[in-house]
Amino acid sequence: MPLATDLSQAWTLARRAVRSRRARGALQRRGVTARAPRPASVRVAVYFADSPVNLYQIRQWYGPLAALNETVPVAVVVRSPGTMLALLDECPVPVVYARQVADLEAFVEEHPIGVTLYVNQNAKNFQMMRYGRQWHVFVNHGESDKMYMTTNQFKAYDHAFVAGDAARERLASVLWDYDLDTRTTSIGRPQADHFAGGTPWTPDDRTVVLYAPTWEGDRPAAAYGSIATHGRSLVASLLATGRHRVVYRPHPRSGVLDPAYRRAHEQVVAALAEANAADPAAGHVHDEGPELGWQLAAADVAITDISAMVYDRLAVGRPLLVTRPVDPEADVDERGYLGSAEWLTATDAVDVVERVDRVLTDEGARADLERWVRHYFGDTTPGVATRRFEDAVVRLVARRDEYAAAEEQRTAGRRGEAQGQGWEA
């Protein structure tokens, strides 16, 4: 087994190297400046050092960033050639390729950056965070009660944008000596104001169920993925009714570490294809598209694992079920919404139709859902979260400029004193 594991890891590394080399070649042929920002213009940088497998983390920010860019110049800074190729085609704001640290230094030197936003905790974030005279702000790539949301890494950033009261309570319960009032700003879920894409079916009387499982996780504490434990049973039950339409949107990393989890995913995909072949009007969807939004808005009921998708759906304010992890070591924090969630166990997955019908019609469940929506996201009136995000960014940029102006005045004052005394500082 150790030899097989070593060979598998070596093969994976070799494939990554080949993909990276091909991407670099494609970038050379295409050029990396086609989407570059205007010289000396960028006030807000969005730093993204990840490979294409994690593009979902930056994609969900496209809408808010495009809106912000209308008044404050924005650019996304990319370190991976494969990611750069993708963003050249799809990113709505300028993109900068900074594969080497020297490229990063040149970008920082050229532009009057006031704020750099970070959507994840990639270790390469520190290569950007070494630059001062700007604010480094963690914005994350979703809201959830996963342990990732209370990591002590929050302290590495000057500031953090969080969704609402629930996020502040989580951080207060875990982080020592962290001043929430000065180091966090609640902005809600601005992505919900920019949900994009139309449904790939003609509306009818079918009940639309979104099943959006996460990946298998890289350790037992994060083993939230349900495809192998719940997914096959619940999808089979929904397909069998003839009155449900399934939208299956798995996490893009599903099966990257566990071949059995990959096989379960493939079985779900095959079941959807077979059901569509038997009844083309069913319109079941295996969704792998870059856009997230129409799936959440169109679904009558959503079924998700413990992930940011729970809270993306919560921001919409419509019924959902949450799969309970089978692994007893999975870290489930039930102090927030998950303490009142409509749980779906692996044993109950076969009876999912009954559970879906109940959450659609139970008035008590709907009232409880509305209460949690307010607790996590505050005012979800369309446009409010986007304004809160933009106002928070503008305030920080202005604050940076105030610090920079004060520093220039101090420097000029010292220089004047030195010249008056006949020597240079």
Phi, psi of 101 (to 5 degrees): -60, -35
Q: What is the pLDDT of residue 413?
A: 80
Q: What is the pLDDT of residue 335?
A: 79
Say whether both 39 and 83 belong to one domain. Answer: yes
Q: Which domain holds residue 91?
A: 29-141+381-425
Task: Look at residue 1 and tell me if it is in a domain.
Answer: no
Task: Look at residue 154 and tell me if it is in a domain.
Answer: no
Q: What is the pLDDT of residue 359?
A: 94
Say whether both 264 and 331 belong to one domain. Answer: yes
The tens digit of pLDDT for each residue in 133-183 reads: 999 999 999 887 766 788 899 999 999 999 999 999 999 999 999 999 999
Say whether both 223 and 343 belong to one domain. Answer: yes
The partner residues of 343 in beta bridges, in order of sequence, read 322
pTM of the model: 0.78
Say whether both 270 and 311 belong to one domain. Answer: yes
Task: Look at residue 201 and tell me if it is in a domain.
Answer: no
The answer to whether the beta carbons of residues 252 and 290 sit under 8 Å apart is: no
Say whether both 367 and 394 belong to one domain. Answer: no
Per-residue pLDDT at 232 exceeds 60: yes
Task: Look at residue 186 and tell me if it is in a domain.
Answer: no
Task: Look at residue 252 and tell me if it is in a domain.
Answer: yes
Say whether both 130 and 253 belong to one domain. Answer: no
Task: Look at residue 219 and tell me if it is in a domain.
Answer: yes
Secondary structure element (H or E) that encloses residue 343, with its range? strand 343-344
Q: State the CATH number of the domain containing residue 309.
A: 3.40.50.2000
The answer to whether the beta carbons of residues 115 and 43 sit under 8 Å apart is: yes
The tens digit of pLDDT for each residue in 41-95 reads: 999 999 999 999 899 899 999 999 999 999 999 999 999 999 999 999 999 999 9
Say whether both 360 and 407 belong to one domain. Answer: no
Say whether both 305 and 421 belong to one domain. Answer: no
Q: State the CATH number of the domain containing residue 116.
A: 3.40.50
Say whether both 234 and 91 belong to one domain. Answer: no
Number of domains in the chain: 2
Whole-number Å distance between alpha carbons of 186 and 177:
19
DSSP state of 347: G
Say whether both 216 and 344 belong to one domain. Answer: yes
Task: Look at residue 112 and tell me if it is in a domain.
Answer: yes
Say whether both 318 and 237 belong to one domain. Answer: yes
The tens digit of pLDDT for each residue in 305-360 reads: 998 899 889 988 899 999 999 999 998 988 789 999 999 999 999 999 999 999 99
Say whether both 396 and 252 belong to one domain. Answer: no
Nearest to 128 by CA among 151, 105, 148, 95: 105
The tens digit of pLDDT for each residue in 179-212 reads: 999 999 999 999 999 886 789 999 999 999 999 9
Task: Look at residue 150 and tell me if it is in a domain.
Answer: no
More confident residue, 3 or 22: 22
